Amino acid sequence: MSCTQWAEAITFWALHTVGMKCPRCESSNCSKNGHKNGKQRYICKQCRRQFVESYSRRGYSEEVRHHCLKLYVNGMGFRAIERCTGVNHNTVINWVKQAGNSLPDAPPAEVIPELAQLDELQTFVGSKKTSDGCGQL
């Protein structure tokens, strides 16, 4: 090997070999492998796994999630929340489902009160003169 070839090999090795460790096999025999979404990608030469140096958290922050759930609890509809916050309504629906699943089950029968209050609407429906139509006999 000539001196120029040796120098080129060392330069190539210095540019492409990085002190990174593979997350799968913990090997330090890794090299640069292009860019993806503005981040440097690496490839392990032993197990051929591709990875980036640091992964960033994707999705909405907890503050945005909490704000959307608060809007829903206060009576705002899913699409209104979408228009107000810019968060897709399906995402808000999924958050509401997750929050509902994390709630405890209904209390046992011993804790349910014996006395209950009925809505006035039940009394009104029960006292109507006609059962259907628009009030004609």
CATH assignment of the domain containing 27: 2.20.25
* 45 and 19, same domain (yes or no): yes
Count structural domains, the chain: 2
pLDDT value at residue 71: 96
Q: Return phi, psi of residue 50, to 5°.
A: -100, 140
Specify the range with the lowest mean pLDDT, choosing from 19-33, 41-55, 123-137: 123-137
pLDDT, residue 97, reads 95
More confident residue, 54 or 60: 60
| pLDDT of res. 58 | 82
Check whether 90 has a pLDDT greater than 80: yes
Residue given tokens 């349910």 in the structure block: 112
**Residue 27 has what DSSP assignment?**
-
Handedness of CA 124, 125, 130, 134 (dihedral sign): positive
What's the average model confidence in pLDDT over 82-104? 94
Residues 34 and 75 in one domain: no
Nearest to 79 by CA among 93, 66, 98, 65: 93
133, part of any domain: no
To the nearest whole number, what is the mean pLDDT of the chain?
A: 80
108 part of a folded domain:
no
**Is residue 89 within 8 Å of 81, Cβ to Cβ?**
yes
- Residue 124 placed within a domain: no
CA-based torsion, 12, 16, 18, 24: positive or negative = negative
Q: Do 45 and 76 have their domain in common?
A: no
Confirm whether 113 is domain-assigned: no
Q: Would 19 be classed as within a structural domain?
A: yes
Indicate whether 69 and 95 sit together in one domain. yes
Stretch 87-98: mean pLDDT, rounded? 95
Q: Is the pTM of this model over 0.85?
A: no
Q: Is the pLDDT of residue 15 over 50?
A: no
Q: What is the pLDDT of residue 63?
A: 94
Range of the domain at 28: 3-52
Residue 10 pLDDT more than 80?
no
pLDDT, average across residues 97-124:
75
